[in-house]
Structure 1
């Protein structure tokens, strides 16, 4: 472990920062987008610090109103309800994120696929309910990103299969975090942390020191499997402990294989380190579905993005750049 991150972020030893004694840290935690949102930032102005933390929360609420599959008034819900009957015009923001999702599906050979919801909606993790194999088989053909047909000129979307549903849960939080960091930068904030569930992005350093970001032990929420010193980068973790229930010794969780419509079981968690939370978010899901070998192959050919995988034997695996 001592050599794992040797040379990976050598810039840490070069970071120096001096600041006015009048500045302070501002922090806020709220429940939005079905998860815990945490903002921590430095500002020399109380007015700016308070406005900046609230601006992040406002952005999270905006994305939730736009992209939640659970809010019947959201643009995504409207799309799911109407796109199988004809093209639906959507906002450029939603169109672009769905377009990016399709490109990521192609790059990951379908391991990341927002149409997983065509079967995924049958699961209820709070009530410990799962679909029958018969129910999965009836809907499995609807899981295929190629059913989503885009028209760039009009920003319209059509589902070429009557049972298609999409869910942006594997990418929307990352998108919201990247938007939030952009907002903070425009407000003059240079040091911040924004977290949404398992997704975190860091702006700058923690006043001359790296941010210490933990990856939790998938089987013990009180422990960290790894603690990373990070600066000006993002980290996203997908784990089988986020939404799940157990039945007869088997764990049913929300990260579904698009091929089977069932929970993927080769690994317990995947953490991706890279510059953008949006891509980290999607890649962590894709690698989880692909498993250790294929997942690491994907990361090792994706410049700028690296990962740590905890497999079912609780062994840690690192992409090549993290062990060089």
Structure 2
């Protein structure tokens, strides 16, 4: 998990005063966790189960690897569709793609779900990169402008026959937001939900903020701890999925859409904001844009903050996290 939630929920003295409930499961290729406080044990168990069910639902519908998922179907059929005969998709998938395209435009292409046209051929477990032939053939397919989405009619078609999309840079943030809405519908006012590097907390810990730790990118330790309440937090790091190639270079999963290769210069980006649906794509955007341009973007967006750890170990903070002068 790229973001460590340092939540002291299970200290014995606190358990005697409050009723904390939770669970964690492996879903969407990562660890999904939920922790909440509720006096009604039965309702709490139902709330936890409902969150996990929603996480499984999102994985089932929007995983690019599950052959029965809607996203898998879109990747198979949208490249074969056209403006005359576009592919019909669900309003939910249309909304996620629309949000993705918004951040593609905002970041000048740094965030681009079509990166997967080439990135799908990386194999981090077996230390394999796409061949030069694949790179030459598929780089032209990495271009969000080749996605044609009609949100009025919920239709989709791809302009390039090799175009392939992956929602891994936005779907977890979306899932975390959905989970929080579910918990609130059960009357939960104090909770945390995490899915890999994406987390969201509501309320506090009865007078104390949640403590969210940013991982040291090069050590099994927390580098920075932030006290937070009622926010979403997303971290993108070059240490989650990677291998060291025969040149001694780190090949990781955060791909620069312009080159089809791993982005250099930054080890970790953490974004703080109201919704995971926004902080998730923003963390990738800033990582690819670089520290200077990425931080400038965050400083222009009201309600968002960032912590960037460069490849040299330098830590940068957005204006909202800086002490007053």
TM-score (norm 2): 0.92
Q: Which residue of 2 aligns with 1:242?
A: 240
Distance between the aligned counterparts of 1:100 and 1:234, measured in 2?
Answer: 17
| Cα-to-partner distance string for 1:227-265 (whole Å, 9 max, x where unaligned) | 011111111100001111111311111100000000001
Distance between the aligned counterparts of 2:205 and 2:248, measured in 1?
Answer: 43
Q: Which residue of 2 aligns with 1:277?
A: 276
**Equivalent position SS for 1:84:** helix
Q: How much is the aligned-residue C-alpha RMSD, in angstroms?
A: 1.4
Distance between the aligned counterparts of 1:128 and 1:280, measured in 2?
Answer: 29
Distance between the aligned counterparts of 2:132 and 2:236, measured in 1?
Answer: 25
Distance between the aligned counterparts of 2:235 and 2:19, measured in 1?
Answer: 29
How many residues align? The count is: 305
How many Å apart are 1:321 and its aligned residue? 1.4
Asked if the contact 2:204/2:210 (under 8 Å) is kept, the reply is yes
| Cα-to-partner distance string for 1:79-126 (whole Å, 9 max, x where unaligned) | 000001112111101101101110110011000000000111110111
How many Å apart are 1:152 and its aligned residue? 2.4
Q: Which residue of 1 aligns with 2:7?
A: none
Give the stretch that moved more between structures: 92-101 or 130-139: 130-139
Q: Which residue of 1 aligns with 2:107?
A: 108
Distance between the aligned counterparts of 2:143 and 2:272, measured in 1?
Answer: 27
Moved over 4 A (4+): none
**Any unmatched runs of 5+ in structure 2?**
1-13
Q: Which residue of 2 aligns with 1:36?
A: 31
**Equivalent position SS for 2:262:** coil
| Cα-to-partner distance string for 1:139-173 (whole Å, 9 max, x where unaligned) | 10100111010122320100011110000000000
Distance between the aligned counterparts of 1:305 and 1:23, measured in 2?
Answer: 32
Asked if the contact 1:23/1:45 (under 8 Å) is kept, the reply is no
Asked if the contact 2:104/2:110 (under 8 Å) is kept, the reply is yes
Q: Which residue of 1 aligns with 2:4?
A: none
Asked if the contact 1:212/1:227 (under 8 Å) is kept, the reply is yes
Alignment of 1:1-324 (within 5 A): 23-86=18-81, 87-220=86-219, 222-247=220-245, 248-323=247-322, 324=324
Distance between the aligned counterparts of 2:195 and 2:118, measured in 1?
Answer: 25
Asked if the contact 2:91/2:151 (under 8 Å) is kept, the reply is no
**Equivalent position SS for 1:93:** helix
Q: Which residue of 2 aligns with 1:4?
A: none
How many Å apart are 1:75 and its aligned residue? 0.2
Asked if the contact 1:212/1:228 (under 8 Å) is kept, the reply is yes
How many Å apart are 1:269 and its aligned residue? 0.5
